[in-house]
């Protein structure tokens, strides 16, 4: 740990080795991210470059976004709009808002690995259908397994017309994107903005981030139960009409 004389009390300064270790990255990767402008310039203590909690928070955002399936290019585009002097609390809240609602980011697999994940052999026609449903994507010679791969494989086994699967996929995507955008706006307006308006300790900020993550999980459960309730209402109305 580098001597923090002259800094705010409690402000920990880290060497690049300590910063990389704190976030779980290699020094080489940390330096590479810094060269892309993803981190503010380091401070200097003599000939030693040192980093503070803002550097760590920004680096944690980079890693969190990549862990949730964002490409490095997408991370660069987003961070280019975030001021380099953004505070630790603001960066933590932005990370909470931006990370995916799923805890299982897409993964690149070989065809054999994809079939192992699917639990069955996949023909070229099967893969074409999965592509059209958005259950997998191509990444050069590899395949990207999306979180709903298991759903797509289950639909394959029902031997349904491809047109029906495509129509259902488009309907789900259309409504889910709209719902996700509306829910995110509500959470941001009613929770994040009011929280940002006051001053909070690091412990309070960490507790808020955990609460926000738990709320997202409960929201997903509410979406599932809400759809089940809506489906029952549709069936009830159909029976009444008949």
pLDDT in tens, 67-125: 777 778 888 888 888 877 777 777 776 776 666 555 556 678 899 999 998 899 999 99
Q: Which two tokens stand for residue 67?
A: 């862990």
Residue 38, token pair as written in the block: 């993803």
Spatial CA neighbour of 110 closest among 136, 142, 137: 142
| Mean pLDDT computed over 222-242 | 77
Cα(48)–Cα(14) distance, integer angstroms: 10
Query: Tokens in use for 134?
Result: 């958005």
- Render pLDDT for 109-120 as a digit per residue (tens, 0 to 9): 899 999 998 899
* Residues near 150 by beta carbon (within 8 Å), at least 6 away in sequence: 118
Domain 16-98 is in which class? mainly alpha
Strand order in the sheet with 107-109: 107-109, 142-145, 136-139
177: left (phi over 0), alpha (psi -120 to 50) or beta: alpha
Q: Is the dihedral of CA 231, 236, 237, 242 positive or negative?
A: positive
Structural tokens at position 213 = 């993550």
Predicted pLDDT of residue 184:
76
Query: Which of 3-12, 79-88, 174-183, 233-242 shows the lowest mean pLDDT across its residues?
Result: 3-12
The tokens of 2 are what? Answer: 């580098």
| 140: alpha, beta or left? (left if phi > 0; alpha if psi -120 to 50) | left
User: What mean pLDDT is predicted for residues 202-206?
Assistant: 78
Please give the Cα distance from 111 to 123 (Å, whole number): 10
């Amino acid at each position: 740990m580098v001597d923090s004389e002259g800094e705010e009390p409690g402000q920990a300064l880290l060497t690049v080795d300590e910063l990389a270790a704190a976030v779980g990255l290699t020094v080489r990767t940390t330096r590479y991210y810094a060269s892309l402008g993803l981190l503010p310039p380091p401070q200097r203590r003599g000939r030693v470059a040192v980093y503070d909690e803002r550097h760590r928070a920004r680096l944690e955002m980079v890693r969190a976004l990549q862990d949730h399936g964002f490409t490095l290019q997408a991370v660069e585009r987003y961070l280019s709009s975030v001021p380099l002097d953004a505070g630790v609390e603001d960066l933590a809240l932005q990370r909470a808002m931006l990370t995916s609602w799923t805890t299982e980011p897409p993964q690149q697999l070989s065809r054999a690995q994809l079939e192992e994940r699917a639990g069955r052999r996949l023909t070229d026609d099967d893969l074409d259908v999965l592509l059209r449903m958005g259950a997998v994507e191509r990444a050069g010679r590899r395949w990207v397994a999306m979180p709903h791969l298991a759903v797509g494989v289950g639909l394959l086994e029902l031997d349904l017309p491809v047109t029906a699967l495509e129509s259902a996929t488009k309907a789900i995507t259309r409504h889910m994107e709209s719902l996700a955008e509306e829910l995110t706006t509500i959470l941001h307006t009613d929770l994040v903005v009011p929280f940002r308006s006051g001053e909070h300790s690091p412990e309070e900020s960490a507790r808020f981030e955990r609460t926000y993550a738990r709320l997202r999980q409960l929201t997903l459960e509410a979406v599932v139960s809400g759809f089940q309730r809506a489906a029952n209402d549709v069936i009830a109305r159909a029976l009444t009409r008949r």
